[in-house]
Chain A
Amino acid sequence: MKLLWKLRFILKDYWQQYLLAFICLQIVSALNLLPPWLIGQVIDGIKDSSLTNHELAGYVAAIAVTGLVVYGFRYVWRSQLYGASIELIRQQRSRLFAHFTQLTPEFYQRHTTGDLMAHATNDLNAVEESVGVGIMTLVDSLIAGLTVLFAMVFLVSGQLTLLAMLPFPVLVWVTKRYGVALYSRFGRSQAAFSSLNEETRESITGIRAVKAHQLAERQTRRFEQLSMESVAANTSVARVDALFGPSISLFFGLSFVLALVGGAWLISHGQLTVGLLTSFTLYLGQMLGPMLQFGWQFNVFQRGSASWGRLEKLLSRQPKVSNSPGAQQAPDDTSLSIDIRSFAYDAASDQKPVLQGISTEIPAGAFIGITGRTGSGKSTLLRLILREFDLPEGSSIQMGNIPLPQLTVESLRKKLAWVPQEPMLFSGTITDNIRFCAPDASPETVEKAAKLAAIDKEIMDFKDGYNTLLGENGINLSGGQKQRLALARALLADAEILLLDDAFSALDMKTEARILKNLMAMKGRKTIILVTQRLPELITADHILVLDRGRIIEQGSHDQLLSKGKNATDQPEENTTEHWYAKIFQQQARTLLQPLEVKPDAVIKRSDVA
């Protein structure tokens, strides 16, 4: 019930539909009183032999017409009431999705997809049930129950009603007791089922170990035991569950017997006719539904209420990054100026900063390389440029001398095209994926982007070419293909700044070289910020930042960094970061560049572009 109060603002939008449904429901309940009463009249007529054919025809017609009219009103109230609940859930689901798209990575770091999916499915379902079936049964049991009660008292006899209703409170109490018992037993059976599930999952994920260690028998034994436990738990549920039906018919039967005996007494005292007693027993039959529903809807509302509580909490989460009042469009000048004193993902706890003392200028059209060991803060820097997180006081990133928080998020991100470390693709065709940020892009544009990302030939080799359907997250592609599709997607965006986060890690040297060549052709027109661990990619970079544990330890052009390390020894000692760039480059040049030395023209081409 509390739930309905909480939902009042949402329900309000549908008040017309609900009102119409309630009115129809009331009409149905009232009309339903008619046939039993008419039957009672017919019976009395038969008994007194006073029934004329004309009257009979009227009664019969009235019963049939009532049936038809009730049918019509039933249809209306059902479609109105359930229609409203469906509409309501549609809106809430859409609202939830919109909310999801607004929440920032800070939120997604704390919540697993599975949990969020549970909100989007189970919780919404529970609310839907509450506002549909829940409201229906609540209102129906009240309206119909009271209407029938009214008829029994005023059309037949108050005394008889009182007598016949005696078993009902007991019935309500008993079924409520059953409900409580069922709830705890049901919990146990669910737990048994989930441990059975877990055991099965364990055996199947570990099937190699099961086979290698010959554990089939042991696992089957354990499975059998758990399955038996589940049988036992379910049996105990069944024993309570099976009580409902018989108890109801028993108490109901008692009520009937009381009505008959009491009715007989009243008839013998001339206070009732046989026909009215018949009407009364028929009314009694109509009470069954509302009585049952009344107990049942508590459950529905309880579940709905808990679910709505969770949804409300989720919907009240404010996105950490949003447009500030008076935010302006991103400027045409896309030079970046970065000045980060200190940044940690979780500022509240005393976490070690991920970035410290990062200060650099990135002029528009420059090619900037960022390198460093795993976990040195490279990706974080890109995330800050994307404004996935806002910087603390004292640190800032500016675009064209305007701090990022003063720009609208949309216009900022239009300037940026990001290729993440883990290429995330969507189900749909290859074309859809490439033109993700411009769904109306022409096939030529798509092909051009694919060509630049050196994936065009492979796409054409697929049977369906650009129309090849990708599974969830491009499951049918290799790692390298996914990376290049993600690159093509970013290139099609035609943004001023390209952010490449270790985007070529799964590619072989030849493909990598081709892509780099294509990218270099854009130099001057586009800012390219390339995060990589393969240093030869950075030979032509204008400026290179070497990060270690969140700080810049070296910076300069390739040649500058290399000459600094001239005197460094070949074999770097562990944990020294001095001349890191030069040392690693020399190592990599020996191993990684070997294939390039075989084909000297590749190197020449590179320097040509530079």
Chain B
Amino acid sequence: MIEKDEKQTSGYRGLARLIRYAKPYQWQFLGAFLILLLATSLEMLAPWLMKIILDEHIAPGVNDVMGLAIMGSALFGTYLGSAILQYLQNVTFQENALKAVHDIRRMLFAHVLKLPMRYFDSEPTGRLVSRITNDSEVLRQMFVGVIPAILQAFFRVVGIFIAMALLDIHLMLMTTLLIPVMLLAIHFYQKISHPVIHGVRSQLANINSRVNESLNGMRIIQAMGQEAHLQQQFDRDNEQWSQLKRKNINIDSLLLMPFTHLLNGIALAVVVGWFGYQSGFSLVEVGTLYAFINYLGRFFEPFRQITMQMSSLQQSLVASERLFQVLNEETEDTKHGQNNGQSKSPEIQHGRLEFNNVTLSYDSKNLALDNVSFTVEPGQFVAIVGHSGSGKSSVINLLMRFYHHQEGQILIDNQPLSTLKEDTLRQGLGLVFQEPYIFSGTMAENISLNHQKITDEHVQAAAIKVHADPFIRSLDEGYEHKPGPGGKALSTGERQLLSFARTIAQNPKILLLDEATANIDGETEHHIKEALITLRENRTTIAVAHRLSTIQDADQILVMDKGKIVQRGTHEQLLQQEGHYRDLYLAQQTEEQLGTTQQSDLMMTAVSA
């Protein structure tokens, strides 16, 4: 219980923090409040005018037609005025809320991109995306739904009470008794409906995940003849859902709309009784009774609104809490900040690389790199091989500063890696991914990546160098072609060539290849092999190799196993030794044999197409 309360307060604190993001728009919001206040006042004026019309123009009999017309116009005027003001108020609120949410969203996005790699390993993509887009969308509901509803409700209730007090102070005081009743009802409703609503939701989530899982595993379910059994389980969940849902409906029917109508009815009886009773002693004006009934009818509306907004408020609390969890994650920059000033050279000039006794652990339990040392002289080609999980990709992860090592030293041109400026590092090191990543935007943008130094000429020259130019030109708008999300319309080979062009245009001193040349048709494979040689010219190259056939001309091959370098040497040297490298080489030859059908089939379809 205490825990839950704490959660609540932290949620409200988050909410308060969020409201601060509305500060740039405070005057607009203030304006909207004032308009809202004015609109509500006009609304409250209408029953009063009706009272005057009833008492002065209708009840005594119509003798002043002009006066009636004027009063009628005035009444319509209040409706018109309040309608216009309500519209203005609503639009102002919405527009500024949208801007405030945009600010939050932008800040969140920029923040997420600065988070360290480690964060992305543990957080599923879908969830992060949902934080940035969906959760901030929920917040909008708070700005445009919850806050105005609460304010409006407050204004209305105050307005109604003022009007009632002016009409009949005794009755007004009696009406105040309704407030605790309503609040109690809301509280009571929250309390008993919350677990039920929660139950409905989680049961529905259960059902959906069961359907999802069953759809994925349908073949095995059918092969094992378990359809009936699963149906039973499903029906059980489904039955529970329907029971909870019906309970939910029943609670709603008992405590929401029908209940406020009940209160309204009883209050109506009291009011009518009071006025009727009064009429025995004094002159009661019909209009007053009418106006009172009218105000009473309006009195319940704000509470209904607030009850409706309660779940929005809950969701906003949860969403804001989640948002701040992300915002509170420490970003990369703060860690590098202190070192920024110390960098001596703005550029990596030679491309010499050195690992001295480097140890890395991702989870502080298992070592991904265990005391690794090697040196790469400028212009050399070094390949790293090993089973998956042997630690070969960790070398690249460290060089790209995706992660930080715990022990040892990494030097680039004899300077510690950590002292290099972000710009220097990213320009000096070019990473070619195993799965080339294509961004939305044009082909040219995908090569230049919008770096201003890279002109259109650079882009084309780079594309020509890696044989990407012909296929780009063959596309609809050539370099202005937009390959669409993820570049799915391009073949793997084309994507790879595009990423090569990107790297050439960047012209890094050190090239990191996370190499993969699987499933590429014959012609592109040939281009890629050639392009790889072009890429390596005048650069220090470190290649994480999956297929040994591509690294036979390396100056040095490092064989890794369980985070350690277990063998090093050239291809010929290593083949003569007994050990990992030779095993790996032989095993791969077999695999390549087994895989040939697929490759030749692909080639056949390519030819026939």
Contacts and interface: CB of A to CB of B under 8 A. Distances in A.
Interface in B79-101: 79-80, 82-84, 86-87, 90-91, 94-95, 98-99, 101
B218 A416 contact: no
A449 to B, nearest CB: 13
A37 to B, nearest CB: 12
B171 interface: no
Contacts of B209: 427, 472
B426 A214 contact: yes
A67 B91 contact: no
Contacts of B252: 78
Given A60-B276, A198-B485, A204-B125, A209 B437 contact: yes
A228 B109 CA distance: 14
Interface string A204-230: 111111111111101110111001101
A564 interface: no
B245 interface: yes
Contacts of A14: none
B217 A249 contact: no
Contacts of A264: 53, 57-58, 62, 68
Interface string B245-288: 11001101110011101101110111011011101100010100
B439 A63 contact: no
Interface string A92-107: 0110011011111100
A28 B416 CA distance: 82
Contact of A211 (B83, B265, B400): B400
A488 to B, nearest CB: 13
A437 B87 contact: no
B597 A373 contact: yes
A436 B276 contact: no
Contacts of A100: 211, 214-215, 218
B297 interface: yes
A331 interface: no
Interface string B419-439: 000110011010101000101
A146 B79 CA distance: 26
A220 B129 contact: no
A559 B250 CA distance: 75
Contact of A101 (B109, B214, B449): B214
A45 to B, nearest CB: 7
Contacts of A549: 597, 601
Contacts of B222: 101, 104-105, 388, 413
Contacts of A63: 265, 268-269, 272
Contacts of B400: 208, 211-212
Nearest to A577: B597
B226 A223 contact: no
A46 B95 contact: no
Given A63-B268, A235-B94, A243-B87, A204 B76 contact: no
B402 A213 contact: no
B253 A206 contact: no
A210 B113 contact: yes
B110 A220 contact: yes
B497 interface: no
B590 A220 contact: no
Interface in A63-118: 63-64, 66-68, 70-71, 74-75, 78-79, 82-83, 86-87, 89-90, 93-94, 97-98, 100-105, 108, 113, 116-117
A8 interface: no
A193 interface: yes
B-side interface size class: 35 or more
Interface stretch (B8-16, B184-192, B233-241): B233-241
Given A67-B269, A238-B95, A386-B223, A250 B125 contact: no
A587 interface: yes
A47 B593 CA distance: 105
A47 B58 CA distance: 12
Given A47-B286, A235-B95, A268-B61, A254 B485 contact: no
B249 A86 contact: yes
A386 B600 CA distance: 29
B98 A245 contact: no
A223 B164 CA distance: 52
B230 to A, nearest CB: 7
Interface in B208-236: 208-209, 211-227, 229-231, 234-235
Interface stretch (B359-367, B520-528, B557-565, B581-589): B581-589
B307 to A, nearest CB: 16
A420 B221 contact: no
Contacts of B223: 386, 388, 413, 416, 418
A201 B62 contact: no
Interface in A419-477: 420, 424-427, 436-437, 439, 472-473
A43 interface: yes
B231 A101 contact: yes
Contacts of B61: 267-268
Interface in A510-547: 533
29 contacts: A46-B275, A46-B284, A56-B277, A59-B272, A60-B269, A67-B264, A67-B266, A68-B265, A98-B227, A101-B231, A209-B433, A211-B113, A214-B422, A216-B114, A220-B113, A224-B106, A228-B102, A253-B76, A260-B53, A261-B69, A267-B61, A274-B286, A388-B222, A436-B226, A437-B225, A473-B216, A489-B224, A575-B596, A587-B586
Interface of B: 46, 50, 53-54, 57-59, 61-62, 68-69, 72, 75-76, 78-80, 82-84, 86-87, 90-91, 94-95, 98-99, 101-102, 105-106, 109-110, 112-114, 117, 120, 125, 128-129, 132-133, 137, 140, 144, 207-209, 211-227, 229-231, 234-235, 238-239, 241-242, 245-246, 249-250, 252-254, 257-259, 261-262, 264-266, 268-270, 272-273, 275-277, 279-280, 284, 286, 289-290, 293, 297, 400, 402, 422-423, 426-427, 429, 431, 433, 437, 439-441, 449-450, 485-486, 502, 506, 583, 586-587, 589-590, 593-598, 600-601
A-B pairs with lowest CB-CB distance, top 3: A67-B265, A253-B79, A373-B597
